Chains A and B, each alone.
Chain A
């Protein structure tokens, strides 16, 4: 079976202006949303307490809110988590109490919500200070990942490729963040990890395309830059789609069967893979083209590439 019987001849670059407009628009919407609405940050970053409790029978949230109110936790956010027997309670950082004791008291109150056994399934408490540090470290991690990749691609290819791939990465990250912001999906540490994985994944795709562009620039005697990039994209198209498809398959499996805790993680990756696939076709290549890549720019690289090719 094959998606395409022969190499396709889609004029990707012909539509690059349309794609660029779309991308710029999406990035602007995302940035706007992140700036205006902000991200719905989880307690990993804001600090606070989270208690997950499992009851023997389905429990009504109003009851849970009631007992929490009596226990002095009127500002608690209460929701079902996964099943109607599990309840997730979020408490904002509180000053009156040593925060570590908060969860103990909240659990004691939660036990009253329903007859029968209530089991403590999960407690997470993050002090505000640690939250700030995690936010800072997370931002730094993303920055360092981008710099590391920039350097590697610049060494291995050419600075324009490096810039192109980083532009594509920033594009992917911003849009993924934008979707989390637009729909106010909770953004926690695992989502941050997923976004870093998206950086790795999207780049993987971009590199494959770039590799082919470089190869074709050296191999094809005639043809403009646009034509060469176009045929490179077409040659790698079925691979790009195949890999995205298999990755999406497992991610959907993870999203459906992996349980509530992993939902945000899987969702971020699904978005990231979709956007990443699009960006490696349009954004990265368009960026390279706009930065004015030409055959001559790749000549010094030929030597390095030749060694690889010369191997038996």
Chain B
């Protein structure tokens, strides 16, 4: 009985509606208060969009709607009304009263195929992460040897090793010591090749693993930042396997925007302009050694110093806004302490000299070359702004010279989100529109109810009173499945609903086994009471055996399946367990209640 009440309690939240809602939150410059609530209400009234209710939380405003259509219209509407300082996330919010929520009773967590949303599987290019690390070592070793005044003739990367060549064996041995002391993670080896004395440096397997793990973790962090900036409630960003990342955005509807954001790798570099040399000379091919030729957005050539002052990795925060003096769009940037120190040093020495911002964007480009797809990385480097250093600055500063507020907004977003540690590739995408999600829910529930009704009618006709008892168990079983799913907050998917339907069909199996046994016993001439007893006893081991094998299949499904299949495995698994309980214990209790302790001449079976 306690269990039944418990099951009912936790299944209860699912009775309440889930309203399509908008969650409005402010950014740094805008807070959500009662004024916002007023603005939202007036704007929606004017557009004739019905609001069910609004809920002001801390720094958040939840607006509930009657249907998802008004929710979508409202989002479009409010985007223009409220402007870019607010993010609006589509979400489902429940009506469940507070006392239920306080005991942890929540409605089932609906999967993306039911609530609509975007699922993306991302592959992280681990080989690139390792080769990037090799490149870093390449540079570091050069610097180290220069600092130690050990003259090398060449440093090259070959396969998975860095080779440093020396003219003399003595120098090589010295270098071996120096490198060994400085970089303990490198596996060093001395090689002789012709006249050259080489140091071969390889990354140890453990360090390669560490590099890969770092790349994955860093990418997850970066992707999480980028996704958060999109304004979606309850995003899921998880590692899957050794090199994959799953991103799930419930309620999101614009996959192209997401993919753009996920795929882009943009960073900034701040460099000084080289004003001592002429651009014309450089264009003619005489680029001064310490400088490099760039192009500005409008195609003008510009000569910049090679030395980078600060890179995008050192940016801790960035936000867009308008320059108070000129009114043009700008991005205000904050640096970490190391970046701030460098920036201060450089700007102090170079007041009134121009500094340029280089915007570097990497994207993938796949083309057919001789019938084979070849993926290339295309790097676009542009100087987005050149401005005179008016006064020395450090931690916080502004970048102006952007074309539009949108551009400033996007740039701030990319800067804030940080750089990806290794290139990524989207290898799987599943987007379900909200209308299809709702259809799936409706159809899923319809088939559960109809399947249930048909089986119940059938059982009642075939087994009479015992059939009714089995039907009670079946209903209870359904309550338990829903309760367990809600308690675990396991994801309910469309195949999951199919799993419930299947369990409904199979759940009566245990009762059929028992009832057929009872009938058999009666035919063999046993008394009704003895038949009931024998029926339950003899059927038990059969039921357990039969169900355990199905459990094995469910476990295998769960461990191998992805997303939706997992949902099926979960409901199947839970359904088998709860159905064994309700069919054996539940019906026995009721049968005993009806027939127990009295002399019965005939059983209604």
User: A residues near B, CB below 8 A?
Assistant: 1-2, 6-7, 52, 54, 95-101, 103-104, 119-127, 129-130, 134, 137-138, 140-141, 144-145, 148-149, 152-153, 156, 189-190, 192-193, 196-197, 199-201, 203-205, 207-208, 211-212, 235-236, 238-239, 242-243, 245-251, 253-254, 256-259, 261-262, 265-266, 269, 305, 308, 311
Instruction: Report the minimal beta-carbon distance from A170 to chain B, rounded to whole angstroms.
Output: 14
Q: A96 to B366, Cβ gap below 8 A?
A: yes
Which residues of chain A have C-beta atoms less than 8 A from B435's C-beta?
Answer: 54, 119, 121
Question: Is B162 engaged at the interface, CB distance under 8 Å to the other chain?
Answer: no
Instruction: Report the minimal beta-carbon distance from A5 to chain B, rounded to whole angstroms.
Output: 9
Partner of A141, one of B458, B459, B556: B556
Instruction: Report the minimal beta-carbon distance from B35 to chain A, rounded to whole angstroms.
Output: 34
Instruction: Report the minimal beta-carbon distance from B502 to chain A, rounded to whole angstroms.
Output: 6
* Given known A149-B553, A189-B564, A257-B450, contact A250–B501 (CB-CB < 8 A): yes
Instruction: Report the minimal beta-carbon distance from B71 to chain A, rounded to whole angstroms.
Output: 14
Partner of B427, one of A95, A130, A140, A262: A130
**C-alpha gap A101/B259 in the complex (Å):** 8
Instruction: Report the minimal beta-carbon distance from B195 to chain A, rounded to whole angstroms.
Output: 46
- Interface bits B403-440 vs A (CB < 8 Å: 1, else 0): 00000000000000000000001111111110110011
**C-alpha gap A249/B123 in the complex (Å):** 43
Instruction: Report the minimal beta-carbon distance from A243 to chain B, rounded to whole angstroms.
Output: 4
Q: A211 to B541, Cβ gap below 8 A?
A: yes
- Interface bits B249-272 vs A (CB < 8 Å: 1, else 0): 000010110010001000000000
Which residues of chain B have C-beta atoms less than 8 A from A121's C-beta?
Answer: 432-433, 435-436
Q: B428 to A130, Cβ gap below 8 A?
A: yes
Query: Across the two chains, which residue of chain A brings its CB closest to B517?
Result: A239
Q: B444 to A104, Cβ gap below 8 A?
A: no
Query: Across the two chains, which residue of chain A brings its CB closest to B463?
Result: A1
Partner of A247, one of B505, B551, B564: B505
Instruction: Report the minimal beta-carbon distance from B143 to chain A, rounded to whole angstroms.
Output: 37
Query: Across the two chains, which residue of chain B brings its CB closest to A165?
Result: B549
Query: Across the two chains, which residue of chain B brings its CB closest to A211?
Result: B542
Which residues of chain B have C-beta atoms less than 8 A from A145's C-beta?
Answer: 552-553, 556-557
Query: Across the two chains, which residue of chain B brings its CB closest to A1?
Result: B462
Q: A123 to B431, Cβ gap below 8 A?
A: yes
**C-alpha gap A189/B452 in the complex (Å):** 26
- Interface bits B481-511 vs A (CB < 8 Å: 1, else 0): 0000000000000110111011011101100
Which residues of chain A have C-beta atoms less than 8 A from B367's C-beta?
Answer: 96
Partner of A242, one of B443, B447, B462: B462
Which residues of chain A have C-beta atoms less than 8 A from B542's C-beta?
Answer: 207-208, 211-212
- Among B439, B523, B554, B569, find the residue whose CB has the most chain A CB atoms closer than 10 A: B439
Q: A246 to B455, Cβ gap below 8 A?
A: yes
Q: A104 to B256, Cβ gap below 8 A?
A: yes
Partner of B433, one of A97, A122, A137, A212: A122
Q: A1 to B461, Cβ gap below 8 A?
A: yes
Q: Which 6 A-B pairs have the closest CB atoms?
A: A200-B553, A95-B373, A250-B451, A127-B427, A250-B505, A200-B550
Which residues of chain A have C-beta atoms less than 8 A from B452's C-beta?
Answer: 250
Question: Is B402 engaged at the interface, CB distance under 8 Å to the other chain?
Answer: no
Q: A251 to B365, Cβ gap below 8 A?
A: no
Partner of A258, one of B263, B498, B516: B498
**C-alpha gap A190/B436 in the complex (Å):** 17
Question: Is B562 engaged at the interface, CB distance under 8 Å to the other chain?
Answer: yes
Q: A200 to B549, Cβ gap below 8 A?
A: yes
Q: Which residues from 341 to 391 on chain B have a C-beta closer than 8 Å to any C-beta of chain A?
A: 364-368, 372-373
* Given known A203-B550, A243-B509, contact A253–B450 (CB-CB < 8 A): yes
Q: A246 to B565, Cβ gap below 8 A?
A: no
Which residues of chain B have C-beta atoms less than 8 A from A124's C-beta?
Answer: 429-431
* Given known A1-B462, A211-B541, A311-B537, contact A239–B427 (CB-CB < 8 A): no
Secondary structure type dominating chain B contacts:
helix
**C-alpha gap A29/B579 in the complex (Å):** 38
- Among B429, B432, B555, find the residue whose CB has the most chain A CB atoms closer than 10 A: B429
- Among B263, B367, B426, B459, find the residue whose CB has the most chain A CB atoms closer than 10 A: B426
Q: B458 to A196, Cβ gap below 8 A?
A: no
Q: B446 to A203, Cβ gap below 8 A?
A: no
Query: Across the two chains, which residue of chain A brings its CB closest to B366?
Result: A98
Query: Across the two chains, which residue of chain A brings its CB closest to B493?
Result: A190
Which residues of chain B have C-beta atoms less than 8 A from A242's C-beta?
Answer: 462, 512, 516
**C-alpha gap A52/B123 in the complex (Å):** 25
Instruction: Report the minimal beta-carbon distance from A123 to chain B, rounded to whole angstroms.
Output: 4
Q: A96 to B368, Cβ gap below 8 A?
A: yes
* Given known A101-B259, A123-B255, A261-B440, contact A148–B556 (CB-CB < 8 A): yes
20 A–B contact pairs at CB < 8 A? Answer: A2-B462, A7-B523, A95-B373, A96-B367, A121-B432, A121-B433, A123-B429, A123-B431, A127-B427, A137-B560, A189-B564, A190-B495, A190-B498, A200-B572, A212-B542, A246-B505, A250-B452, A259-B440, A262-B444, A308-B541
Instruction: Report the minimal beta-carbon distance from A278 to chain B, rounded to whole angstroms.
Output: 17
**C-alpha gap A101/B508 in the complex (Å):** 48
Which residues of chain B have C-beta atoms less than 8 A from A257's C-beta?
Answer: 443, 446-447, 450
* Given known A122-B433, A242-B512, contact A152–B562 (CB-CB < 8 A): no
* Given known A97-B366, A189-B565, contact A127–B428 (CB-CB < 8 A): yes
Partner of A204, one of B255, B450, B549: B549
Since A197-B502, A247-B509, A250-B505 are in contact, a sample of 12 more A-B pairs with Cβ atoms closer than 8 Å, ordered by chain A residue number, is A95-B368, A98-B366, A103-B255, A120-B431, A134-B562, A141-B556, A144-B556, A189-B561, A203-B546, A208-B542, A253-B450, A258-B501
Partner of B426, one of A100, A119, A239, A258: A100
**C-alpha gap A196/B455 in the complex (Å):** 23
- Interface bits B513-525 vs A (CB < 8 Å: 1, else 0): 1001001100100
Q: B431 to A6, Cβ gap below 8 A?
A: no
Which residues of chain B have C-beta atoms less than 8 A from A311's C-beta?
Answer: 537
Which residues of chain A have C-beta atoms less than 8 A from B1's C-beta?
Answer: none
**C-alpha gap A140/B557 in the complex (Å):** 10
* Given known A122-B432, A196-B553, A253-B450, contact A95–B565 (CB-CB < 8 A): no
- Among A96, A196, A199, find the residue whose CB has the most chain B CB atoms closer than 10 A: A196
**C-alpha gap A15/B550 in the complex (Å):** 29
Instruction: Report the minimal beta-carbon distance from A124 to chain B, rounded to whole angstroms.
Output: 5
Question: Is B568 engaged at the interface, CB distance under 8 Å to the other chain?
Answer: yes
Which residues of chain B have C-beta atoms less than 8 A from A249's C-beta?
Answer: 451, 454-455, 458, 505
* Given known A95-B366, A257-B450, contact A122–B549 (CB-CB < 8 A): no
Query: Across the two chains, which residue of chain A brings its CB closest to B445?
Result: A257
Partner of A6, one of B443, B523, B560, B565: B523
